[in-house]
Structure 1
Amino acid sequence: MINITLPDGGIKQFDQPPTGLDVAQSISEGFARNCVAMVLDERLMDLDRTIDGDGAVRFITTKDPEGLEIMRHSAAHVMAQAILRLYPDAKLTIGPVVEEGFYYDIDMPPVSEEDFARIEAEMKKIVQEKLPIRREEVAKDEALRIYRDEPYKLEMLKDLADGTISIYRQGDFFDLCRGPHVPHTGFVKAFKLMKASGAYWRADQTKAQLQRVYGIAFFDKKDLKAHLAFIEEARKRNHRRIGTALDLFSFRDEAPGMAFFHPKGMAIWNALLDYWRLEHRAAGYVETKTPILLQRKLWERSGHWENYRENMYTAVIDEIDYAIKPMNCPGGMLLFGRKHHSYRDLPVRAAEVGLVHRHELSGVLNGLFRVRAFHQDDAHIFMTPDQIQPEILGVLRLVDKIYSTFGLGFHLELSTRPAKSIGTDAQWETATEGLKAALAEYGADYKVNEGDGAFYGPKIDIHIKDALGRTWQCGTVQLDMSLPERFDLSYIGADNERHRPIMIHRVIYGSIERFFGILVEHFAGQFPLWLAPVQAGVLPLNDDLLPFARSVAERLETLGIRTEVDHRSESLNKKVRDAQLNKIPLILTCGNKEKESGTISVRTLDGQVRQGVPMASFEQLVLDNISRRTLSFDGLQG
């Protein structure tokens, strides 16, 4: 008798060893039809695997995220099978599941989106055939014989240890794979090929260039349709496209991975930093600035030379090794250590918007999201042990206030000690428990990422959620007991003895360049009034009214309202349309009526229009919205 324990504690008994599918069918036929795989005693397995003894089973269904990942792996096999049917001389390499779907690297002639329709049509045939997907286990020698004409699979096999090798078959197709897979190809119901690109075998530029074909798959066509709509909306919001259209920033071949910010981009940049400084002054921070070029001995002392050297740009000056700072931390240590501190001076909250450089491979550069030079809104808080919890709480509350101003939600993740780290076990335990206590007091749920902390301390990562529901890790709070030790930092306690301060590293914007790019996509280029590069566009009805329009603009500029006059000899309708395309939040039209009455007509991007608005009341309304940093312009009704 075989006893199978279900997740609810119930037990199913079988006279003969059942398969996972047998167990699922014993629950109900309808349930079994939606099962993708099973977890038997914590081992993920195919449904057709036989259960030889007592065990606990949990089923993965089409409603589970794990089920979607398994199906997408099977979809990669379906795509590879379709390609082999159409391109018999193609040679397969690997086909993993990735965050955005799946891909397969194949040695074959170049393919493009024009070829996708043929491949997708063949995939649909394979899906309709509902080919059973079966696992086979063979000895390594047998696997080498099977793949004797497949050079890439053969190379992969030779790298594996001797023992049993698993192969999955579906009809005339077979692939070297660990699995598991869905029961048959009919589970791959809704799919689409997304793009094709070149990729070197094993990411080695000396090896063969392959075709990497990407796809996406869902269990339901509605989910696929929603995903494709999301992709299209994300394309429209792409910060590089909007940045070009609105003349905010650009990149040049002369400085790869380093952004050039244009005047309009700098207007947003300065608004971000003005707000940052306002909130930090109110929270008791002082602002500092440290050099970007520092001697090697400093980076050796901090541990960066040993642990981060491959990401640093270096130079030799007067026969002395230097590095351009990849982080602001060591300079902050020197600043704190320049004078004696009493416990009465603590906490010291020292913030710096520092320019840092990190070496990134050219292939991973991605607009403002992945650059080689960026500004980081660091702060280093030096404190006594009993100040750990209130200071971390202070940071989290500041984070909440700043992110909510942009309409950004967020969640928290706690990352613990990595394998490569500095500091003692006792220091790491104290630091980690300090973060946990503060999170408990803050009251928000958080996820734990074991082993994902910085090399010098555990951290709280703050992931913001944008208007499309995407998450971005921007803010971080890192508790560090090692760098104060390395730099021999101290303060005089109430007992008149020297003590080592505890230190917090933290950022809120993170990389300001990256945060800028996130905001471009979050707002789709339609920034709230306080952030907009041009806050008011003044449109004269004709050339005779141009002097009046300029006088209106000068008056607004005097008040600090960023204003632009459209002096072109175009129709008013075209001027309004262009102002809307440029996402100008306040569009002011100036005609003879407005000139005579000292009023203006105001149009906003949400469709509100109001004529005959007195200048004084309009100015007060604009200044009020800017000072409150509202997400949408209000007060125009009536």
Structure 2
Amino acid sequence: MINVTLPDGSVRQYEDGASPADVAKSISNSLAKAALAAKVNGEMYDLNRPLEGDAEVAIVTARDKDGLELIRHDAAHVLAQAVQELYPDTQVTIGPVIEDGFYYDFAREAPFSTEDFERIEKKMEEIVDKDYPIIREVWSKDEAIETFKKIGEDYKAQIIDDIIPPGDPITVYKQGDWFDLCRGPHLPSTGKLPKAFKLMKLAGAYWRGDSNNEMLQRMYGTAWGNEKDLKAHLHRIEEAERRDHRKLGRELELFHLQDEAQGQVFWHHKGWTLYRVLQDYMRRRQLENGYREIRTPQLMDRAFWERSGHWDKYRENMFISSIEEEDKVLAVKPMNCPCHVQVFNHGQKSYRDLPLRLAEFGSCHRYEPHGALHGLMRVRAFTQDDAHIFCREDQITEEVKAFCDMLRSVYSDLGFDDVVVKFSDRPDVRVGSDDVWDRAEKALRTAADATGLEVIHNPGDGAFYGPKLDFILRDAIGREWQTGTIQADFNLPERLDASYIAEDGNKHRPVMLHRAILGSFERFLGILIENYSGAFPMWLAPTQVVVATITSDADDYAEKAAETLRAAGLRVEVDTRNEKINYKVREHSLQKVPVIAVVGAREAEEGTLALRRFGSKGQEVLGLDETAEKLSDESTPPDLKRANA
């Protein structure tokens, strides 16, 4: 008999040779029907694979993360079978699961087209309807190579020959007459695959990712546990496309990019206004929290970056300049932290000076491959809301807590209240001793616990000089963005000889806390544009009010009204063009201006404004002074509202 321990801790006995399917059936018919696979002692198993002895067993369904990965894996196999049945001249290569879906690389002389998708999807549904049992077989390496070569699958034969060690068994999965090399596990049959899949796009891909090899055709798809989840995913994609910051950047005249300055942004007036409003807000918040703003050089000698450790770590991403007559190599700074240590080192520091919080809107440059560039989200030139806190070890908890409070307040002001925190510890490639890392990790984890943060452990993803807390915010359509960070660094102060005079009269090394809330301004503005779909809250909007005239008789009053609103601190434009008012309203609504103030002969005579809000069909008529007071209050940044309350 076999003893099986279930997730609730209960133990059941089964006959030798029992499978996870038998376990599921013994629990309930509904579980047996929903079961897709099982976790046996933490390893994924096919439902019908016999248990090899006493085991901990958890049944996997479509509701589980592992179940969803299994569905996507099987969808890839069903795709490959469908393609080969429709296009017999096609060879299959690899077909892994990826985020939100899967892909399969095919070798075929004739190109596929997205117009083929409907036909392929129909064939996939037929394969599901035929409910082929999915059978696991174990072959020898020689048998597998010979079989795949015999059916013309040269790529599969090459994978087996290159990757599988001699003597190792190979698992092959069959569904009907079709089979593929695979570790598994898989669903019990093709009929278990929900028909909640869709082919999404085509791309080219080199065999084995090597540009010297043949070009294959990659077919991407998505698969979900049910039709509802598929529709929700497709809706998110549509929303993401509608909110694409590159598209909105053009339409709202915020910025543009061009080949002559790859990875660098041309900010237009409206976009730069948005940039400055956000930067001014962050400057006030940092001053309010005891930071001293500084400015450091863009170019530093190579020897400096070698001392800091960044040359070895980041050289391939650094832009280099040389001065021949001085025989020097200079690097454009990829980050600000070593420069901030130089400011700290200028003049002797005492324990009474700590904590010292130095902030810089630091311009940095990093070489990113052309293919990695993506609008504002991935650039080569960017500015960070960067700061470094130099403190004693016993001040870490208090400083981390103050930072976390500030970060949550900033995110809330900007419309993000759903934030996840990850704790990342030592990576494989790092500087500093294990003892130093032990102290740094303990200090940061203790600080995180003291703030009451719910922290997800993210092993091995720390910075090369220290552990970190990363803050991931969720936007209006549920996407996650890693933005803020605070990192405990015991190593860089040592490498760059930073010290302070402690109470005992001796020199001690400060701890250096690297921190950012927005991260890159460029990237965060891209996130903001997409989160709000370009319809910014009043205080952030580049143009807050447009005064639009109905007739030319109201032109003088429109200018007077605009001056009154500007005097109240509002960003105002005037539209006195010889166009119909409906055309003007529509045009400024497309620009997502929060308030359009319409004026005609009556408004000029009565000293009023007819206010139309973005997204609202109605209008509100107010006196000019009342409008100025009301809109001025609405447009006041949240931090200034709190200060004035």
Q: Please report the TM-score for the alignment, with normalisation by the length of structure 2.
A: 0.96
Corresponding position of 1:78: 78
Corresponding position of 2:409: 401
Question: Which among 229, 248, 255 is matched to residue 261 of structure 2?
Answer: 255
Corresponding position of 2:480: 471
Question: Which among 177, 185, 208 is matched to residue 180 of structure 1?
Answer: 185
Q: C-alpha deviations, 1:558-601, integer Å up to 9, x for none?
A: 44311112232221111111111110001100111111121111
Alignment of 1:238-317 (within 5 A): 238-317=244-323
Q: Alpha carbons of 1:32 and 1:506: their partners in 2 closer, same or farther (altered >3 Å)? A: same
Deviation, structure 1 residue 439: 1.2
Alignment of 1:10-29 (within 5 A): 10-29=10-29
Alignment of 1:135-214 (within 5 A): 135-148=136-149, 149-160=152-163, 161-162=165-166, 163-189=168-194, 190-214=196-220
User: Once the two structures are aligned, what percentage of the paired residues are identical?
Assistant: 47
Question: Which among 483, 494, 497 is matched to residue 492 of structure 2?
Answer: 483
Deviation, structure 1 residue 159: 2.2
Question: Which among 328, 331, 334 is matched to residue 320 of structure 1?
Answer: 328
Deviation, structure 1 residue 631: 14
Question: Which among 613, 624, 636 is matched to residue 615 of structure 1?
Answer: 624
Corresponding position of 1:636: none
Corresponding position of 1:350: 358
Corresponding position of 2:53: 53
Question: Which among 423, 439, 453 is matched to residue 444 of structure 1?
Answer: 453
Alignment of 1:101-120 (within 5 A): 101-108=101-108, 109-120=110-121
Question: Which among 437, 440, 447 is matched to residue 431 of structure 1?
Answer: 440
User: Structure 1: which amino acid aligns with 2:584?
Assistant: K
- Residue 536 of structure 1 pairs with residue 545 of structure 2: yes
Structure-2 separation of matches of 1:150 and 1:362: 34
Corresponding position of 1:364: 372
Deviation, structure 1 residue 462: 0.2
User: Structure 1: which amino acid aligns with 2:42?
Assistant: E
Q: C-alpha deviations, 1:53-104, integer Å up to 9, x for none?
A: 1111111111111100111010011111111111111121111111121111
Deviation, structure 1 residue 146: 1.8
Q: Alpha carbons of 1:493 and 1:222: their partners in 2 closer, same or farther (altered >3 Å)? A: same
More divergent stretch after superposition (235-244 vs 14-23): 14-23
User: Structure 2: which amino acid aligns with 1:131?
Assistant: Y
SS of 1:510's equivalent in the other structure is: strand
Q: Is the 8 A contact 1:528 1:631 kept in 2?
A: no
SS of 2:36's equivalent in the other structure is: strand
Deviation, structure 1 residue 608: 6.5
Q: Alignment RMSD, CA only?
A: 1.6
Q: Alpha carbons of 1:386 and 1:631: their partners in 2 closer, same or farther (altered >3 Å)? A: closer
SS of 1:509's equivalent in the other structure is: strand
- Residue 453 of structure 1 pairs with residue 462 of structure 2: yes
SS of 2:261's equivalent in the other structure is: coil
SS of 1:506's equivalent in the other structure is: strand
Deviation, structure 1 residue 119: 0.7
Q: Is the 8 A contact 1:378 1:510 kept in 2?
A: yes
Q: C-alpha deviations, 1:105-156, integer Å up to 9, x for none?
A: 1122322321111111111101111111122221111121122232322222
More divergent stretch after superposition (515-524 vs 150-159): 150-159
Q: C-alpha deviations, 1:5-26, integer Å up to 9, x for none?
A: 2112222222331111111111
Q: C-alpha deviations, 1:440-467, integer Å up to 9, x for none?
A: 1111211001111000000000001111
SS of 1:116's equivalent in the other structure is: helix
Q: C-alpha deviations, 1:396-441, integer Å up to 9, x for none?
A: 0110110000120211100000000001112111111111111111
SS of 2:419's equivalent in the other structure is: strand
Structure-2 separation of matches of 1:446 and 1:49: 37
Q: Is the 8 A contact 2:551 2:601 kept in 1?
A: no
Corresponding position of 2:221: 215
Deviation, structure 1 residue 43: 1.4
Q: Please report the TM-score for the alignment, with normalisation by the length of structure 1.
A: 0.97
Deviation, structure 1 residue 628: 4.2
Q: Is the 8 A contact 2:613 2:619 kept in 1?
A: no
User: Structure 1: which amino acid aligns with 2:342?
Assistant: L
Q: Alpha carbons of 1:44 and 1:125: their partners in 2 closer, same or farther (altered >3 Å)? A: same
Q: Alpha carbons of 1:235 and 1:603: their partners in 2 closer, same or farther (altered >3 Å)? A: same
User: Structure 2: which amino acid aligns with 1:363?
Assistant: G
Structure-2 separation of matches of 1:192 and 1:602: 46
Q: Alpha carbons of 1:585 and 1:102: their partners in 2 closer, same or farther (altered >3 Å)? A: same
Q: Is the 8 A contact 1:137 1:166 kept in 2?
A: yes
More divergent stretch after superposition (125-134 vs 502-511): 125-134
Q: Alpha carbons of 1:321 and 1:158: their partners in 2 closer, same or farther (altered >3 Å)? A: farther
Structure-1 separation of matches of 2:161 and 2:205: 22
Question: Which among 576, 580, 590 is matched to residue 571 of structure 1?
Answer: 580
Q: C-alpha deviations, 1:591-615, integer Å up to 9, x for none?
A: 1111112111111114164443111
Structure-2 separation of matches of 1:609 and 1:623: 21
Q: Alpha carbons of 1:62 and 1:245: their partners in 2 closer, same or farther (altered >3 Å)? A: same
Structure-2 separation of matches of 1:262 and 1:334: 35
User: Structure 1: which amino acid aligns with 2:377?
Assistant: F
Question: Which among 336, 351, 364 is matched to residue 344 of structure 2?
Answer: 336
Structure-2 separation of matches of 1:263 and 1:147: 62
Q: Alpha carbons of 1:630 and 1:131: their partners in 2 closer, same or farther (altered >3 Å)? A: farther
More divergent stretch after superposition (489-498 vs 130-139): 130-139
User: Structure 2: which amino acid aligns with 1:192?
Assistant: K
Deviation, structure 1 residue 235: 1.3
Unaligned runs of 5+ in 2: none
Unaligned runs of 5+ in 1: 633-638
User: Structure 2: which amino acid aligns with 1:54?
Assistant: D
- Residue 586 of structure 1 pairs with residue 587 of structure 2: no
Question: How many residues get paired?
Answer: 632
SS of 1:468's equivalent in the other structure is: coil
Q: Is the 8 A contact 2:285 2:639 kept in 1?
A: no
Structure-2 separation of matches of 1:631 and 1:165: 67
SS of 1:418's equivalent in the other structure is: coil
Deviation, structure 1 residue 616: 1.4
Please list every run of at least 4 consecutive aligned residues from structure 1 whose deviation after the TM superposition is greater than 3 angstroms: 608-612, 628-632
SS of 1:395's equivalent in the other structure is: helix
More divergent stretch after superposition (268-277 vs 313-322): 313-322
SS of 2:636's equivalent in the other structure is: helix
Q: Is the 8 A contact 1:407 1:631 kept in 2?
A: no
SS of 2:47's equivalent in the other structure is: coil
Question: Which among 608, 613, 622 is matched to residue 604 of structure 1?
Answer: 613
Alignment of 1:127-138 (within 5 A): 127-138=128-139
Deviation, structure 1 residue 550: 2.3
User: Structure 1: which amino acid aligns with 2:111?
Assistant: P
Corresponding position of 2:564: 555
Deviation, structure 1 residue 555: 2.9
SS of 1:299's equivalent in the other structure is: helix
Structure-1 separation of matches of 2:599 and 2:159: 72
Q: Is the 8 A contact 1:600 1:615 kept in 2?
A: yes
